[in-house]
Amino acid sequence: MPPVPPPLPFYYVAASMEQRCDHFNALNADTFQQRYLVNDTFWGGPGAPILLYTGAEGDGIESVFAHSGYVLELARELKALAVFSEMRFFGVSMPYGEHDSFERRPERLGLLSIEQTLADNAHLVTELRTTYKTKASRVVALGGSLAGTLAFLLRAKYPALVHAALAASAPIFGYANLTDPYGWYRVATATFEKQVPGCPHAVRAAFAALLEASPTAVSKAYDTCRPADDSTGRRIAQLMTDKLSAMATAAYPKVFSPVLAACKAVMTQPGVGAFAPLLVPAGACFNVSTLHSVPEGLRMPPSAHARLARGAPGQHFSGASTADLAWFYLACTEIVHPIAANNRTDMFPPFEWDPHALARTCHQLFGVTPRLSWIPESMGMAAGPRALASVTSRVIFSNGLLDPWSAQSLTANASRSLVALNMADGSHHSDLGSWGNPWPGRGDSDDLVRVRREELALLRQWLAEDDHGPPAC
């Protein structure tokens, strides 16, 4: 386990502001309280920058703050006000409360969208400038993963409010016809091979043995609490696909990488039960009733499939968290990442990304049809990286190349002010902070230190530029 951060002399103050439930409908004047966290320890006062972490999926903004220590380091260096916004429909920022917000109606769950989220953040910027009497403060949007995508989009859509952005591990090209669906698992497999040579071969063999095994052999190998049936091996394989691939997103720092322990287990005990040490606690039987089939078409790692599947469609998803419901709704509408496996360029059992199956499942779950191309078409990514310079400027795209999401991110400069910074040994938003490295420390790799130094230098340079400064390309 990674070490616990030492007590910090600075933390945050929780606050909230009134947001419109629907920014784009004048006939709906309903409002809700959006929560955000503020740290003003290093702020230089009116005119000094504002760093805005643009929300994220998950259980609440506190968990994001807890592993994003580099944001506070940037605040120290830039004498900035650090603000972490909570995304609507996550945490306690519910437009109509925890239950009513998820009613399948246009004026309830239909208000969870990227456009509404960006407008929330834009309004928050204006309110912060008023509250802190700092109209001249330049804003840097930043975030990792979905929050990284939001940071890029916020800079692109509201350039008068947001001066620059740092988009870490942001899969902005993770859409149909813009990415190779097999890229995600290909990078995950390469990460396993890099950290434990030969491991992908053992994992591939373990999946093959499991999927070919009889129910009796599966029951014996996994010491199941009740007899396995014909679907048990397949469902274990689905579970292990999600577990193993998610490990690649947390592969930095290597000393804490879950890939190491997983490979040791699989390579020590080959055959049908190779995954048993990763699933079955010592001295216990394996409760196969906890296994659930992945909803058709909704295969995306890291996933909340098992938790979502506890509630059958049409039965209010009993057992699924609000965070799961909100994420799956986004995955059924605008955040539609094509991800597939082929067992040739990767080590996982093959499955295809099927937009038709996705549409059927999303209609069953939420009554919606995915808008596969809306975000890239409306926000300028559809024409590819070379066209981004006509969309925006002053954005850093950072990537850990061990991270499978790097397969759907910008990994090469698109212009002089759309800059890609890559960490060969980094994983999911390692620069901003993650589970294994929640704050900067002496053990940071040379690669990570270099990228953070370059990020700081670029932000200093851009904060000194006006909007008529050096051209984007």
Q: Which residues of 407-434 are buried (b: 16+ CB within 10 A; e: fewer)?
A: bbbbbebbbebbbbbbbebbbbbbbbbb
Catalytic residue, chosen from 346, 403, 425, 447, is 403
Short-list 301, 364, 368, 307, CA closest to 334: 368
Spell out where 127-251 has E strands. Answer: 139-144, 164-168
CA angle 436, 425, 298 (to 5 degrees): 70
Catalytic residue, chosen from 137, 145, 169, 409, is 145
List, as one string, the DSSP characters of 78-144: HT-EEEEEPPTTSTT--TTHHHHTTSSSTTTGGG-SHHHHHHHHHHHHHHHHHHTT-TT--EEEEEE
In the residue annotation, 398 being an active-site residue is answered as no
Cα gap 5→26, rounded to integer Å = 46
In the residue annotation, 430 being an active-site residue is answered as no
Helices marked H in 6-58: none
Cα gap 258→273, rounded to integer Å = 19
Radius of gyration of the chain (CA): 22
The DSSP code for 24 is T
Residue 267, burial from CB neighbour count under 10 angstroms (0-12, 13-18, 19+)? middle
In the residue annotation, 145 being an active-site residue is answered as yes
Paired tokens of 325: 């419901």
Residues 6+ apart with CB under 8 A from 335: 114, 146, 149, 375
Catalytic residue, chosen from 163, 428, 429, 434, is 428
Catalytic residue list: 145, 403, 428
